[in-house]
Structure 1
Amino acid sequence: MEFRTLRAFVEVVRQGGFSQAAKAVFATQSTVSKAVRQLEDEIGAPLLDRIGHRSLLTPVGEVVYRRAVKLLAERDDLIAELSEIRGLKRGVLKLGLPPVGSATLFAPLFAVYRQRYPGIEVRLAEHGSDQLEESLRAGEIDFAGALLPTSQDFEWQQVRHEPLMALLPAGHPLGGRVSIGIADLRDSAFILFDAGFALNRIILDVARRAGFEPQVVARSSQIDFMVQLVAAGLGVAFLPRLIAEQRLDPAVRLVRLDEPGTEWVMAMAWRRGAFLSAAAQAWLALVRELHSTALPDES
């Protein structure tokens, strides 16, 4: 059963005859007659009782007409909905963003995207980069904010490159230095993020390469709380410079961590070879538009 034959039959009923239906579907009268006969042959029963120049619905024809009207309406709705999605008037974008840096890096992107595509629903998931990568790998989100280097399973667009800063209590003996190595903090207690944050992995890996296992005294997902723990003298924490300088505290000193492999490089990642919806492609285009020249900030 084809939509073409259903449309011809419905128009014959609506227009009250074959000649008028032919005009409605931009076909010849013989083409419309053949379409209706094809439909009758397929169903195995007459749909129209032809009396002179009039055509009346048979009992079977009434059932087919009622169903055909609904089917054609659903088809039209489907076409319209797909057209809206392709035209970015509707759709869903699933983003995974880490708590560290999102307000600064991704909130402006989000605002521009919403302005350009107000009909797209944006669903946000907020976790550490490691956890977001698992969600991305499972197909639960379209994109994830991820720290580089990341898995070969993903493609990525770099968004920001920042050095890491050690946050030291004001009374710390190294607080007056311009930069320090991780080994200089061997005897200091560390304040790290909760599990699932890629920044933890960076800090722990570089400490182990320096030959020690840090004493971790606290873990949190709240940056402001971690800064206050440092201010209270509990230990040292680590943040990208961009974020650390937004949370200056008179009781905290910022000292650059001078260690290879500790740069904070944030990227927008997606599954390699994955299908990207029109909404997702628009997001990626915007990220590339605004961050295609993201380079290391060495100032």
Structure 2
Amino acid sequence: MELRKLRAFVEVVRQGGFSKAGKVVFATQSTVSKAVKQLEDEIGVPLLDRIGHRSRLTAAGEIVYRHAIRILTERDDLVSELNALRGLKCGILKLGLPPVGSGILFAKLFAIFRKCYPGVEMRLVEYGSERLEEIVLAGEIELAASLLPVSEAFEWQDVKREPLAVLLPIDHKLSRCQSLDLSKLREMPVILFETGFASNRVIMDACRRHGFEPRVVARSSPIDFVIELAAAGMGAAFLPRMIAEQRRHLSLAWVPLHEADTDWHIAMIWRRDACLSPAARAWLDLVACGRAEDHSVND
């Protein structure tokens, strides 16, 4: 059942005749008459009782007219919503961010996005990178910020690359070093984030390249608690340099980690075969602009 036939039939009823209906749908009288006849043939019963130059609805016509109005209204609503979606007047952005670094990198961008697209609902989840990758692949969210490298199942857009810093008690013998490699920490206990944080994998892999397994004495998710554990002397902790600089602690020193393949390299990722929504693409554009501004300031 074609929408154009329903539209022609509805306008014949509304306008009270085929000629006036034709002017509304931009068709000739004969074209409108043919469309209504085809609709009647398709349904199998007359819809209009034609009396001279006038027509009135049959019982079947009353039913079809009522449903046709609803169908055409829903079609118009559908088109309006899609146009609004393309224009980002509505929609949903499903986004995942890790707890580490998101405040510094994305809080300002959130505020800008909300100001630019107030009709777009932002749904945020917060997990470690490994969990975020899982739910992106499952289709639960469109985009996530995750540490590189990621598998070939994802496409990605660069956000920020930072060296890691080692957090040590201020009176530790290594706290005055200009930089450290992980071999110097072979005998020292370490504090990691909870399972599912990709930064753990970076540290573990680097230690194994030096031929040892680190002695993990604690795991936590909140950054502040990891910092306090390190300040209490439980072990060495690791944070991106920009976060270590921001979260200075009177009892702690931070030393740059001089180690290959241990940079905290964060990117926005999405499923390789995904058809991203206009809201998701707008977010990626905003992140790219923010990164460009960051480079401009640093330069």
Normalising by the smaller structure, the TM-score range is: over 0.9
1:158–1:294 contact (8 Å) kept in structure 2: no
Aligned to 1:190: 190
Question: Does residue 22 of the first structure (1) align with residue 18 of the second (2)?
Answer: no
Distance 2:244 2:132 in 1: 23
Determine the C-alpha separation between the residues in 2 that align with 1:46 and 1:258: 84
What is the match of residue 70 of structure 1?
70
Q: Decide whether the 8 Å contact of 1:162 with 1:263 is kept in 2.
A: yes
2:279 corresponds in structure 1 to 279
Distance in structure 1 (CA, Å) of the matches to 2:293 and 2:186:
37
Q: CA contact under 8 A between 1:160 and 1:294: conserved in structure 2?
A: no
CA deviation digits over 1:149-196, x for unaligned, max 9? 221222211111111110001221111112111111112111110000
Q: In the alignment, which residue of structure 2 is the partner of 1:89?
A: 89
The equivalences for 1:143-292 within 5 A come to 143-292=143-292
Please, what is the CA RMSD of the aligned residues? 1.8
| Aligned sequence identity (%) | 61
Mapping of residues 78-157 of structure 1, within 5 Å: 78-157=78-157
Give the distance between the partners of 1:238 and 1:203, measured in 2 at CA.
8
- The alpha carbon displacement at 1:273 in A equals 3.1
Residues 246 and 14 (structure 1), Cα distance of their counterparts in 2 relative to 1, 3 Å cut: same
Is contact 1:148-1:266 (8 Å) kept? yes
SS at 1:159 equivalent: strand
**Conserved in 2, the CA contact under 8 Å of 1:166 and 1:236?**
yes
Give the 3 Å change call, closer, same or farther, for CA 50–195 of structure 1 in structure 2: same
Aligned to 1:50, the other structure's residue is in SS state: strand
After TM superposition, give the deviation of residue 139 of structure 1 in Å.
2.0
Q: Deviations over 1:122-150 (max 9, x none)?
A: 11111111111111222222111111222
Normalising to structure 1: TM-score of the pair? 0.95
Q: What amino acid does structure 1 have at the position aligned with 2:202? A: I
- CA distance in 2: counterparts of 1:200 and 1:111, whole angstroms: 30
Aligned-partner Cα distance in 2 for 1:208–1:79: 57
Q: Any idea what SS the aligned residue of 1:161 has?
A: strand
Cα distance in 1 between the residues matched to 2:214 and 2:298? 28
Does the 8 A contact of 1:158 with 1:292 survive in 2? Answer: no
SS in 2 for 1:149: coil
CA–CA separation in structure 1 for the residues paired with 2:18 and 2:203: 79
Residue pair 1:179, 1:255 contacting (<8 A) in 2 also: yes
What are structure 2's unaligned runs of at least 5 residues? none
Q: Secondary structure at the match of 2:7?
A: helix
Q: Which residue of 2 aligns with 1:47?
A: 47
Runs of 4+ in structure 1 displaced over 4 angstroms?
A: 292-295
Q: Please, which moves more after superposition, 141-150 or 235-244?
A: 141-150
CA pair 235-256 structure 1, distance change in 2 beyond 3 A? same
Letter in 2 for 1:286: L
Q: Secondary structure at the match of 2:76?
A: helix
The 10-residue stretch of structure 1 (67-76 or 131-140) with the greater mean CA deviation from structure 2: 131-140
Moved more, 248-257 or 83-92: 83-92
Q: Which amino acid aligns with 1:279?
A: A
Unaligned runs of 5+ in 1: none
Distance 1:139 1:232 in 2: 41
8 A Cα contact 1:159 1:294, kept in partner: no
1:294 to partner: Cα distance = 7.3
Q: What's the offset of the Cα at 1:7?
A: 0.9
